Structures are given as structure tokens and as C-alpha cells.
């Protein structure tokens, strides 16, 4: 994300953030808490609520002000992550999570890039220290299926698929090309 941020920042006003977290102390502290306890058998609903609490704070205090100041906001994730990870993988029901999320967030993103990568490749790219890597292959196969399901349907935002099985340079070029076709010149 740093590479595309640096490229876009040469021509546009761009704000970069990440989920869960952002630059807010509360969000950073909650991110650490979530990551420290992600494999502690929290109830699935507790996990969903924690992620959404951080997302709501991030959106209201960081993302929305940047959008109102006419920045392009880049984030590595959005609410779709909860649809997949808490909805598909943990609760087995994305619609329940969709209904909850729609009641607790303000607006959809304008564009979502789907970096489509096969599960085996994704796992080799994850740090061994990543607590989510410990979830196991079936979890990640369910996650991939969830993303395929979401991006296979019409959404209230523009979606663009990027083949992320390729090298970092090729993925960056696909993303750059897609953005050139979207953003004003």
C-alpha cells in the first residue's frame, strides 16, 4: 500500500490508513488487544463487535474527516473483512453480519480492490508471527470462498479484481493501471 500511496501522492491528496487501527490511540490499542487475543477462543460475536468498534472509531474520526477534506482515502481493508472473517468463517452466515454492519457504519467505500490470491500463496506470504495465520487452511479456504462470493455479486460500490498471485511488481502495475482508468487526470 505504501507504494501506491507514494505514487498517488505525487498528483492527489491521499490519506493512508489501515484496519483494524488507523492512527488513533484507541484504535491502535484495540488492534493490539484483538491481535493478542485472536486465538483465545473469544466468542465470534465478541470478535465481530471488537472489530466493528475499532472500524466505527476509525471511520468517524479519521476516514470521514479526510473524505470531507477531499482526500482520496486508501485503506488495506474495510467492512468486507468482517463479512468474510466473522461472517463466513466464524458464524457461517454473512447475512447476519451484513445486517449488523449496515446498522453501524455510515457509508460504503467508493471502490474496493479485490486482491485475489490462492490460499496456499497467501499463507506463504504471511508472517509466521501473524496470529491469523494460525487459523489453519480450512479457515483460509472459507475466507477465499467468502471473498469470491462477495465479489461475484453486484455491490453498492465499484469492485476491481487484481490477480495477486503474480509478483509484487505485476500486482502494483495492475493496480496502477486500474487507478489511471478511474481517477480524474
| Pick from 84, 92, 87: nearest CA to 152 | 84
Helices (H), the chain: 2-9, 25-37, 44-58, 64-68, 80-82, 94-104, 119-125, 137-151, 168-182
Half-sphere exposure of 168 (CA within 13 A, CB side): 5
**Average pLDDT value over all residues in the chain:** 89
Pairing between β-strand 72-75 and β-strand 111-116 as defined by DSSP bridges: unpaired
Place of cell 482515502: 73
- As averages over each run of 10 residues, the pLDDT of the chain (185 residues) reads 93 92 84 82 85 87 94 91 89 89 80 94 90 85 93 89 95 94 87
d(CA 68, CA 80): 22
**pLDDT of 18:** 86
Instruction: Tell me the three cell numbers of residue 75.
Output: 485503506
**DSSP class of residue 86?**
I
State the pTM of this model.
Answer: 0.85
The structural domains of the chain, ordered by start, are 2-182 (3.40.50.300)
**pLDDT of 104:** 78
Place of cell 480450512: 138
Amino acid at each position: 500500500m505504501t507504494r501506491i500511496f507514494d505514487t498517488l501522492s505525487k498528483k492527489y491528496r491521499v490519506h493512508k490508513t489501515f484496519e483494524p487501527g488507523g492512527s488513533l490511540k484507541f484504535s491502535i490499542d484495540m488492534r493490539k488487544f484483538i491481535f493478542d487475543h485472536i486465538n483465545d477462543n473469544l466468542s465470534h460475536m465478541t470478535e465481530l463487535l471488537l472489530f466493528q468498534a475499532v472500524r466505527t472509531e476509525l471511520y468517524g474520526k479519521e476516514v470521514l474527516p479526510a473524505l470531507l477534506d477531499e482526500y482520496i482515502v486508501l485503506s488495506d481493508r474495510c467492512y468486507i473483512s468482517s463479512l468474510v472473517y466473522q461472517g463466513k468463517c466464524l458464524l457461517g452466515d454473512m447475512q447476519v453480519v451484513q445486517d449488523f454492519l449496515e446498522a453501524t457504519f455510515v457509508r460504503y467505500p467508493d471502490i474496493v480492490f479485490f486482491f485475489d490470491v490462492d490460499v496456499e500463496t497467501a499463507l506463504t506470504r504471511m508472517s509466521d508471527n501473524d496470529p491469523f495465520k494460525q487459523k489453519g487452511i480450512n479457515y483460509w479456504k472459507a475466507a477465499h470462498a467468502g471473498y469470491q462470493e462477495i465479489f461475484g455479486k453486484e455491490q453498492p460500490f465499484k469492485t476491481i479484481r487484481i490477480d495477486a498471485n503474480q509478483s509484487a511488481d505485476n500486482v502494483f502495475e495492475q493496480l496502477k493501471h486500474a487507478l489511471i482508468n478511474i481517477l480524474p487526470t
